[in-house]
């Protein structure tokens, strides 16, 4: 029962932290998927992921990272993931760094955040918004 109450409180806090936006899907206390960014091309699903920095990460002594946006691609058929873009921001939403890592497709390991995200995204049905 305590776990259920803790999970409920956690969900409410996270939703408030994202300004109660229906555009973000909470994956964990620090990880969110931006639903409008989801794109599907065949077996490949892409999405922007927001990761809140809880570890006091710094790019330099004067540059505290508040959060990171990462563009993930999931190969649903082969159960692989690739990080295509990374952008870091400070607490005032100022971009601190931007890059495109030269990472190849990686096999998704069981019981990881990538497995959770990939499972959600590979089943996600993209619907067009009415104008």
- Considering the domain boundaries, does residue 71 fall inside one? yes
Please give the tally of structural domains in the chain.
1
How many angstroms separate the first and last alpha carbons of the chain?
Answer: 43
Cβ-contact 67, 53 below 8 angstroms: yes
The answer to whether residue 103 sits within a structural domain is: yes
In a domain, residue 3? The reply is: no
Q: Considering only 17-31, 93-107, 113-127, which range has the smallest mean pLDDT?
A: 17-31
Count the neighbouring beta carbons within 10 Å of the beta carbon of residue 52.
Answer: 17
Tell whether 17 is covered by a domain. no
Let me know if residue 12 belongs to a domain: no
Q: Is residue 94 domain-resident?
A: yes
pLDDT value, residue 115? 96
CB 33 within 8 A of CB 117: yes
Task: Examine residue 43 and state whether it is found in any structural domain, yes or no.
Answer: yes
- Looking at residue 30, its pLDDT comes to 92
Show the domain range for 106.
22-123
Which of 125, 120, 51, 42 has the alpha carbon at shortest distance from 83?
51
| Per-residue pLDDT reduced to its tens digit, 60-104 | 667 788 999 999 999 999 999 999 999 999 988 999 999 998 889
- Asked if residue 81 belongs to a domain, the reply is yes
**CATH number assigned to the domain comprising residue 96:** 2.40.128.710
- What would you measure as the largest C-alpha separation in the chain, in angstroms? 47
Query: What pLDDT does residue 10 have?
Result: 47
87 and 110 in contact (C-beta within 8 Å)? no
Total-model pTM:
0.76
């Amino acid at each position: 029962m305590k776990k259920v109450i803790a999970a409920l409180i956690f969900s409410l806090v996270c939703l408030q932290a994202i300004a109660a936006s229906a555009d973000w899907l909470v994956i964990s206390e620090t990880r969110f998927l931006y639903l409008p960014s989801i794109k599907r091309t065949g077996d490949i699903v892409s999405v922007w992921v927001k990761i809140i920095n809880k570890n006091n990460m710094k790019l330099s002594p004067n540059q505290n990272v508040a959060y990171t946006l990462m563009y993930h691609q999931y190969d649903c058929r082969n159960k692989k993931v690739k990080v295509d873009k990374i952008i870091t921001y400070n607490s005032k939403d100022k971009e601190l760094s931007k890059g495109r890592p030269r990472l190849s497709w990686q096999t998704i390991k069981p019981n990881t955040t990538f497995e959770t995200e990939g499972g959600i995204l590979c089943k996600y049905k993209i619907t067009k918004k009415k104008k």
